[in-house]
Amino acid sequence: MLREQLQGKNYLIVLDDVWEKEHWEYLKSAFPNEKDKRSRLLLTTRNKVIGKFNSTIRAKRLLNVWVGQGLIQQEGSRTVDEIARGYLNELINRNMVQVEDVIIGDRVQNCRLHDLIRELPCSIRLLTGLKCLRIHKSHNIFRDVLELPTWLDNLKNLEILCVEDQFVKFPKDALRMEKLRHFHVHSVYGRAMKVENWKSIESLKLIRLEDWLECSSGLTGRYHVQKLGIHMIETERQNELRRSLEKMENLRELHLEFNPMSLMSPKIIPRLNGLTKLKLDGGMLECSSASEFPPNLSRLTLEYVMLVEDPMPELGKLPKLVYLKLYRRRISNEEWRMRVLREGFPCLEALSLENLNQLRGIDVEEGGMPALKQLRIHKCPNLEIENLPEHIKCAVGTT
């Protein structure tokens, strides 16, 4: 009867604590083994006759299982067997799989799973007191998109979750980690980001604009976010972004990543007194006055930003700016001479110029950058620094 119920279906059945080989021989006929179905039987036992602990497996057989289960995807001109062999070698290099025998050409013939990998599922329950979890880049062992598992909800004491993979996919249901305070991901893919208690989070990076607007809409009261990173920002929704940021009275650090051709202005950033660190990434910056920036800004980074004109005359009026970094920024004119006005950048201590191919020179008027201690120049091939004031030459370091 059981066989008839399972016929033509995909199934997963767990048989726990099977002690006798005869029991399995008697039961196995009840489970149909159809090649076009992805059915599985999982047996747990302490009898080595039924299932050996720490046994070896032929590498070729293991690779065939991977290919047969659809775990290996075609990439370019490489065959699936070559790709599978590459995955196995990476697992071996990471000590997750141990080599038992090799054949001519150093090809793995037999291998087995490392003992620690077997013990890992049993150890998950010991993580309930974990406060910090960092999932590092997996390179090309796993798929490019990492889906966050729902068992993270069991980590009731987790305060820091940092995922470095290229893309992160959220589960259907919201994560309910009540003590979570710091949540950092590289980029969100697919489903909207859902964190039930996000209002208590102190640092949140990088969240898509649409997810941020959805999370912050309709909520009132005090917010605890101090560090915030938002990406995929479009010109059309910048006013919505500003209104959402106006609620962030505790905000200290802000990273905004714009779509490449989006127009942006410091006006979209509220003049929050506590905001001291700002990073603008991508887009086309329109800056007519330094007064458009937050009043207490001390650190400013511009990366991959398109500028219509030299921003330095206005940026030099920021009274508390201590650190300024310009990285791979472009200006509409083919050549660019950076101009620092008299008494500009009164508190600036560090200036970093990186990958600025258009930069030809730095003109510093008397009294400009009086507090500069470090000037880092990296990959600015056309920059001439011979005419810099002596106090700035002393701060120069080139790489």
pLDDT above 70 for 216: yes
For residue 78 the two structure tokens come to 């490489």
**How far apart, in whole angstroms, are the C-alpha atoms of residue 317 and residue 289?**
9
- Specify the length of the chain in residues: 399
In this prediction, residue 10 carries a pLDDT of 82
User: Do 385 and 340 fall into the same domain?
Assistant: yes
User: Do 332 and 357 fall into the same domain?
Assistant: yes
User: Do 365 and 311 fall into the same domain?
Assistant: yes
**How far apart, in whole angstroms, are the C-alpha atoms of residue 334 and residue 332?**
6
**How far apart, in whole angstroms, are the C-alpha atoms of residue 18 and residue 104?**
40
- Give the pTM: 0.68
pLDDT-derived band at 274 (thresholds 50, 70, 90) equals very high
241 Cβ neighbours under 8 A, 6+ residues apart: 209, 212, 213, 230, 233, 268
User: Do 78 and 33 fall into the same domain?
Assistant: no
Q: How many degrees, rounded to 5, is the angle at CA 285 between CA 204 and CA 378?
A: 80
- Residue 50, φ and ψ in degrees, nearest 5: -80, -45
pLDDT-derived band at 351 (thresholds 50, 70, 90) equals very high
- Cβ(43)–Cβ(75) under 8 Å? no
pLDDT above 70 for 380: yes
- Residue 82 within any structural domain of the chain: yes
- Residue 111 within any structural domain of the chain: yes
Domain hosting residue 338, numbered range: 298-399
User: Do 307 and 393 fall into the same domain?
Assistant: yes
In this prediction, residue 190 carries a pLDDT of 60
Of 239, 229, 298, 301, nearest in space to 264 by CA: 239
For residue 387 the two structure tokens come to 């005419």
Name which residue leads in pLDDT, 62 or 55. Answer: 62
User: Do 332 and 363 fall into the same domain?
Assistant: yes
pLDDT-derived band at 317 (thresholds 50, 70, 90) equals very high
pLDDT digits (tens, 9 = 90+) for 172-184: 665 677 788 888 8
- Residue 17 within any structural domain of the chain: yes
User: Do 103 and 10 fall into the same domain?
Assistant: no
3-state secondary structure of 242: helix
Look at residues 16, 38, 53 and tell me which one is the last residue of a structural domain: 53
In this prediction, residue 294 carries a pLDDT of 92
- Residue 73 within any structural domain of the chain: yes
In this prediction, residue 376 carries a pLDDT of 92
pLDDT-derived band at 28 (thresholds 50, 70, 90) equals confident
User: Do 306 and 387 fall into the same domain?
Assistant: yes
Which range among 3-12, 16-25, 32-41 has the greatest average pLDDT?
Answer: 3-12
pLDDT above 80 for 110: yes
Q: Are strands 107-113 and 97-103 parallel, antiparallel or unpaired?
A: antiparallel
- Residue 396 within any structural domain of the chain: yes
- Beta-bridge mates of residue 347: none
Look at residues 122, 143, 167 and tell me which one is the last residue of a structural domain: 122
- Residue 207 within any structural domain of the chain: no
In this prediction, residue 180 carries a pLDDT of 83
- Residue 234 within any structural domain of the chain: no
* Number of structural domains found in the chain: 3
- Residue 376 within any structural domain of the chain: yes
In this prediction, residue 284 carries a pLDDT of 84
For every residue of 216-240, DSSP letters joined together read HTT--S-----EEEEEEE-GGGHHH
Name which residue leads in pLDDT, 335 or 111. Answer: 111
Phi-psi domain of 381 (left: phi exceeds 0; alpha: psi -120 through 50; beta: other): alpha
